[in-house]
């Protein structure tokens, strides 16, 4: 017997109902269905599953988009790190310059004060000489310290005035230097606080970027896993449909074999009886059965829905 062509039930659109195990094809949407106890189940075809080319294109597009986003994010982080490192370097340079300037200013102030002390010592020594000369040259009887001081004050008022002016000027300069240094310390503290704030913000942005990358990676893994699970389910459904179809083919072959055996037995009985009319009828029946068998061997048609 030649292999028959088996045509399953077919139509346009999804079938409304099928018997359990019965197959049907939606020729309009190129989809395969099988009947189950719960109803009609779509098991394959373009109407049910995306084409491999579509899935591959979608995956490639998504991969390209993710890679582009990862590159942009990496470049942004790199640029931010470079900017922060530059800011830290500038701050270090500013701090070093400020420290150097302060050192120079302190050294200059110390040198000025030392020079002033030296000048003061010279003037004090000069005044002491003047006092000694005055006392030596004076014919007055100055027998008390108070009298001597009164005499000196009455004679050398110019030196006292100059000394008082120097002390006042020096105190004002020292106060101004203290004020300048205090203001500079305050400004430096504000700049350091600003850099610390910027560094904290950068750390927060890096942490957020790492969290976004982790979330995206988790989502991509879940999507790939879901796609693999869906494909595995589709393959299992197709294998089940193939087994059902093979069972139906085997059942049909068994039925045809039983019918052939019955026909052969009837022919044998008629040959034994030897009645001419019965033989003619039997020959007609045989011809009819042979025609039907030939048709069955040619096409097994499930019809339409």
- 102 lies in some domain: yes
- 149 lies in some domain: yes
- 299 lies in some domain: no
Determine which helix (DSSP H) or strand (DSSP E) holds 42, and give its type and residue range: strand 39-45
State the residue range of the domain holding 59: 49-273
Q: Which residues pair with 247 in a beta bridge?
A: none
- 287 lies in some domain: no
Domain count, the chain: 1
Name, in order, each residue with C-beta under 8 angstroms of 8's C-beta and a sequence gap of 6 or more.
23, 24, 25, 245, 302
- 207 lies in some domain: yes
- 165 lies in some domain: yes
Condensed to tens digits (0 to 9), the pLDDT of residues 240-272 reads 877 887 887 888 878 888 877 888 787 777 666
- 40 lies in some domain: no
Strand order through the sheet with 31-36:
9-11, 23-26, 31-36, 39-45
Residue 274 has pLDDT above 90, yes or no: no
Inter-residue contact 34 to 244 (CB < 8 Å): yes
User: At 1, is the pLDDT very low, low, confident or very high (cuts 50, 70, 90)?
Assistant: very low
Determine which helix (DSSP H) or strand (DSSP E) holds 251, and give its type and residue range: helix 157-273
Residue 88 has pLDDT above 80, yes or no: yes
The predicted model scores a pTM of 0.29
3-state secondary structure of 186: helix
Condensed to tens digits (0 to 9), the pLDDT of residues 4-38 reads 788 889 999 999 999 999 999 999 999 999 999 99
- 39 lies in some domain: no
């Amino acid at each position: 017997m030649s292999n028959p062509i088996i045509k399953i039930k077919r139509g346009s659109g999804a079938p409304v109902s099928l018997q359990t195990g019965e197959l049907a094809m939606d020729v309009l949407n190129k989809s395969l269905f099988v009947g189950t106890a719960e109803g009609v189940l779509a098991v394959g075809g373009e109407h049910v599953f995306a084409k491999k080319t579509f899935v591959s294109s979608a995956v490639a597009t998504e991969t390209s988009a993710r890679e582009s986003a990862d590159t942009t994010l990496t470049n942004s982080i790199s640029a931010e790190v470079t900017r922060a490192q530059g800011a830290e370097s500038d701050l270090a340079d500013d701090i070093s310059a400020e420290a150097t300037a302060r050192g120079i200013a302190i050294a200059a102030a110390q040198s000025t004060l030392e020079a002033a002390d030296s000048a003061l010592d010279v003037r004090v020594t000069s005044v002491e000489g003047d006092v000694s000369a005055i006392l030596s040259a004076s014919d007055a009887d100055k027998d008390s310290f108070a009298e001597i001081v009164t005499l000196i004050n009455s004679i050398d008022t110019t030196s006292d005035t100059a000394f008082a002016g120097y002390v006042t000027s020096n105190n004002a300069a020292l106060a101004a230097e203290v004020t300048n240094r205090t203001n500079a310390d305050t400004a430096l503290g504000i700049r350091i606080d600003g850099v610390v704030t910027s560094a904290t913000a950068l750390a927060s942005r890096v942490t957020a970027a790492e969290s976004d990358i982790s979330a995206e990676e988790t989502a991509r893994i879940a999507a790939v896993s879901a796609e693999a699970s869906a494909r595995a389910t589709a393959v299992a459904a197709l294998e089940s449909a193939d087994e059902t179809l093979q069972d139906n083919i085997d059942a049909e072959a068994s039925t045809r074999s039983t019918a052939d055996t019955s026909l052969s037995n009837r022919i044998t009985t008629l040959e034994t009886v030897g009645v001419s009319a019965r033989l003619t009828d039997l020959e007609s029946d045989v011809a009819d059965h042979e025609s039907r068998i030939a048709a069955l061997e040619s096409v097994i048609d499930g019809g339409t829905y």
